[in-house]
Amino acid sequence: MKNFELTILGCGSAMPTTRHYPSSQVLSYGEKLFMIDCGEGAQLQFRRNRLKFSKLHHIFISHLHGDHCFGLIGLISTLGILGRTGELVIHINSEAERIFRPHLDFFCRELPFEVRFEPLPRKHEVIYEDRTMRVSSLPLKHRIQSCGFLFEEKEKQRHLIGDMVKFYNIPIKELAGIKSGADFITPEGTIIPNERLTRPADPISRYAYCSDTTYLEKLIPMIEGVDLLYHEATFAEDNKVRAKETFHSTAIQAATIAQKAHVKKLLLGHFSARYEEDSIFLKEAEQIFPNTILAKEGLHINI
Q: The sheet that has 206-210: what strands, in order across it?
A: 126-129, 133-139, 147-153, 206-210, 228-232, 266-269, 292-294
Residue of 69, 15, 2, 19 whose CA lies nearest to 295 = 19
Report how far residue 165's alpha carbon sits from residue 250's, in angstroms, rounded to the nearest whole number.
Answer: 55
Report how far residue 27's alpha carbon sits from residue 56's, in angstroms, rounded to the nearest whole number.
Answer: 10
Report how far residue 70's alpha carbon sits from residue 116's, in angstroms, rounded to the nearest whole number.
Answer: 17
Residue of 36, 41, 35 whose CA lies nearest to 18 = 41
Report how far residue 208's alpha carbon sits from residue 191's, in angstroms, rounded to the nearest whole number.
Answer: 41
Active site residue 67: yes
178-184 contacts at long range (C-beta below 8 A, 24 or more positions apart): none
Tallying the residues shown for the chain, one arrives at 303
Among 37, 67, 227, 278, the active-site one is 67
> Helix H segments across the chain?
42-48, 66-69, 72-81, 96-107, 162-167, 172-179, 194-197, 220-223, 240-245, 251-260, 279-286
Inter-axis angle of helices 72-81 and 96-107, nearest 10? 40
Q: Are 235 and 242 in contact (CB under 8 A)?
A: yes
Report how far residue 24's alpha carbon sits from residue 297's, in angstroms, rounded to the nearest whole number.
Answer: 9
Bridge partner list, 7 = 26, 300
Instruction: Report, as residue numbers or ranges, the catalytic residues.
Output: 67
